[in-house]
Amino acid sequence: MNLKDMLSSHMAQASLYNAQEPEMSSFLPQQDEVGPELLADEATPLQDVYYLPTLLTAIQRELIDATLHIFSQDLKTQIRAKNTRNSIESLLDQPEKESNGFGSHSLMFNNISLLFGQLTLIDSHPSLLVDHFIPKKLLLSEINSRLVSLSGKFQLFNRIVDSLIDGTDTGGFHLLVIAQSIKELELIESIIIGKQLYYENLSCSKLYTDTQEPPQPSKGSKGSLSVYLITSSQLYNHYMKFPSAVEFNLIFSFDMKLDVTNPSIQLLKSRSTSQLPIAIPVPLYSVSHLSLQIPEPKTELTLSNNDATNPVFKWKLQVLDTLVMNRESLLDTQRLDKDFFLKVYGRKMERFQKWAQRGVVETQIAKLMEPFDDSLTLRFSTEQVAKKLELEYPSLKKEEGEGVSDYSSFRMQLVSSISLKIDKMTLRLKDLWEDKLIHERTKESKRQLQYDADEDSISQNYLKLRKLNDQAIASEKKRSKAESDHSKNQERKDEVEYKLKTLQEIASKPTTPDNLRDQETIITKLKEELDNVSAEFTKLDEDNELVRQKYQASSATAVQLSSVLAKLSSQHAEIEAKLNGPGMTSLPSLIKKDTLLSMEVELNRVKKNTQFLDAFYKEKLEKLTKERQKILEASSSGSNSRPTNRISRGSTPL
């Protein structure tokens, strides 16, 4: 199977134009207007499958637009064929007249299938357009951010992996990642290498081989993330023997056409104690997105792909026409790019984390695609598609190619288109360099010179301002002092004026002898009172001196007692520390241990004494026994009738 045949088999779920005009050409969908309600009965939601919206990157948008431009002639030919085949005479034309150029059935079908397949590859990752495998060293040396920045699916997957690493609960999280091909699987592996996770590649050898073992989270520790990589064909045909302890929490599929009814997937679901959700990333306003809105019709296996009545071929045309009608949404980078993941998935993907950990209702994730589905243009006529193609995709110039005849010509035209865009960008950058950039640099230089002059002026004025500020501070101090002196002088003036007024009033009153006598009497009483107060003050002063001496004496005693109290308190604290310290807890055991040691020493001493006495008594007893035996032997050597030398039966002294 060559690459073109492989690409022709890349088909997402969709439906077909319904027949309304029997006189139209069999190449085209037989209807003038397309609407989602025509296929509502065929679209059946899959259980536990959740579609996660993501964005197309800038390079993906440009490649999709360039690919549509290259194949725009084929789409225009389909529209023209529908508009020109409305007469009865056209139905009687010989089939041989349609065997040349773009009228060829086989060429048309192959081109549409090739276009659809290439757009599907671009939706996943632009690197998949390369025919050969990317060398492992190149993948390992590639910067992670650069690989992620090329694909919207990979951006979403990278954010999900990072959020699961940071937010995985105790017990670990097991993620099964399904890719469409080995090349795509290696790209996925290249972006997770270096992250704090454990992974296994079940379809091919790892890009980087190590001896890492599956993590075993300890009790109370943060959970770990384990990722298992596999292709959909490998999963369908050869069920892998996963470790018995592995219970998957989530399946993340890069394959839009994942067969969830496959026995391998059903077996994985049966091993899970809870529901095993399947998450599929969907780039917005792409072929994959439109394939969900226009479900693919089921066809018989015997039906040829090159048959004009093939519903899949008509479905592909319908999806491509819808893609053309939604070109503005596809290329609109201002509406969605800013804070897209923050608005859809929350801060640090918290909505996805809650859903992955079964913290929220699944319907919240299932409804993420609804706002974007509602913004799609699904109702249009073939005339609108034709106008859109003529307006957005004018005919290719000679240097851009004259149409696609096979896979090689498409690749050549794609490379040429990309080269032309690069040349235009280079010329644009050159123009900016020669015109605007130099002008802006000159303008910026003048601005910097003005800034320098202003800074010099500011520095000079700052010195003057600082000097004036010092003078103002000195003047303020002088003013404050003058105001203070003025207020004091004013108080003195008021006091003197009051005294003067009082004296004038007294002097103005007439003086009589009675008044003088009264005043003398008052003065005498005041003197007596003054003497009494003076005597009392003297007595109080003496008492105060005595009390002061007593206080000093008692203070010295209190100081001595305080020092003694402080010393006793420190000693008490030391004793308390010793009593409450670790030594007191071990003191009974130490006493017991010391007692045991002393008793063991005493026991050993007693044992040694006992051994000595036993040996001593045994030696003496043996000696006496031998002597007695000798005496018995000596006494028995005489007459046997009546022995004369009898041994005394008395006690034998030691």
Q: pLDDT digit string (tens) for 449-492?
A: 999 999 999 999 999 999 999 999 999 999 999 999 999 999 99
Report how many domains make up the chain: 1
Whether 307 and 79 have beta carbons less than 8 Å apart is answered as no
pLDDT value of residue 166: 81
Please provide the DSSP assignment of 426-494 as one string. Answer: HHHHHHIIIIIIHHHHHHHHHHHHHHHHHHHHHHHHHHHHHHHHHHHHHHHHHHHHHHHHHHHHHHHHH
**Which range among 237-246, 301-310, 345-354 shows the weakest confidence by mean pLDDT?**
301-310
Average pLDDT of the residues in 407-418: 77
The structure tokens 């010393």 sit at 567
Residue at 597 is within a domain:
no
More reliable by pLDDT, 429 or 325: 325
CB atoms within 10 A of CB 96: 7
For residue 159, how far is the Cα from the chain centroid?
7
The size of the chain, in residues, is 654
Read off the CATH number of the domain in which 262 is found: 3.40.50.12360
Residue at 189 is within a domain:
yes
Whether 251 and 276 have beta carbons less than 8 Å apart is answered as yes
Residue at 526 is within a domain:
no
Q: What is the dihedral of CA 429, 434, 437, 439, to 10 degrees?
A: -160
What letter does residue 332 receive in the DSSP assignment?
-
What letter does residue 15 receive in the DSSP assignment?
-
What letter does residue 50 receive in the DSSP assignment?
E
Q: State pLDDT tens for residues 577-601.
A: 887 877 777 888 888 999 999 999 9
Whether 54 and 283 have beta carbons less than 8 Å apart is answered as yes
The structure tokens 């134009």 sit at 17
Residue 147 in tokens? 């690989």
Residue 419 in tokens? 């080269």
Whether 108 and 78 have beta carbons less than 8 Å apart is answered as yes
Residue at 306 is within a domain:
yes
Question: Which of 235, 229, 228, 225 is closest to 196 using CA atoms?
Answer: 225
The answer on pLDDT for 272 being more than 60 is yes
What contacts 110, CB < 8 A, 6 or more positions away?
4, 8, 306, 406
Q: Tell me which residue range forms the domain holding 262.
A: 3-89+100-405
How many whole angstroms separate alpha carbon 468 and alpha carbon 547?
A: 61
Whether 315 and 16 have beta carbons less than 8 Å apart is answered as yes
Whether 232 and 278 have beta carbons less than 8 Å apart is answered as no
The structure tokens 């069920």 sit at 239
The answer on pLDDT for 426 being more than 90 is no
Residue at 555 is within a domain:
no
Which pLDDT band holds residue 312 (cuts at 50, 70, 90)? confident
**Which range among 41-50, 151-160, 333-342 shows the weakest confidence by mean pLDDT?**
41-50
**Ordered alpha helix ranges (H), 272-347:** 287-293, 311-325, 327-331, 333-336, 340-345
Q: What is the C-alpha end-to-end distance of the chain, expressed in Å? A: 120
Whether 183 and 128 have beta carbons less than 8 Å apart is answered as yes
pLDDT value of residue 146: 82
Residue at 452 is within a domain:
no
Question: Which of 107, 77, 36 is closest to 382 using CA atoms?
Answer: 77
Residue at 258 is within a domain:
yes
Query: For 625-645, b where at least 16 C-beta lie within 10 A, e where not — what string?
Result: eeeeeeeeeeeeeeeeeeeee
Average pLDDT of the residues in 556-567: 90
CA-based radius of gyration for the chain: 54
Whether 230 and 248 have beta carbons less than 8 Å apart is answered as no
Residue at 341 is within a domain:
yes
Average pLDDT of the residues in 359-384: 79
Query: For 486-506, b where at least 16 C-beta lie within 10 A, e where not — what string?
Result: eeeeeeeeeeeeeeeeeeeee
What contacts 87, CB < 8 A, 6 or more positions away?
23
278: alpha, beta or left? (left if phi > 0; alpha if psi -120 to 50): beta
How many whole angstroms separate alpha carbon 291 and alpha carbon 294?
A: 5
Average pLDDT, the chain: 78
How many whole angstroms separate alpha carbon 73 and alpha carbon 122?
A: 20
Q: State pLDDT tens for residues 68-93.
A: 888 888 788 777 776 665 544 455 45
How many whole angstroms separate alpha carbon 2 and alpha carbon 573?
A: 91
Strand 33-34, strand 380-381: pairing? antiparallel
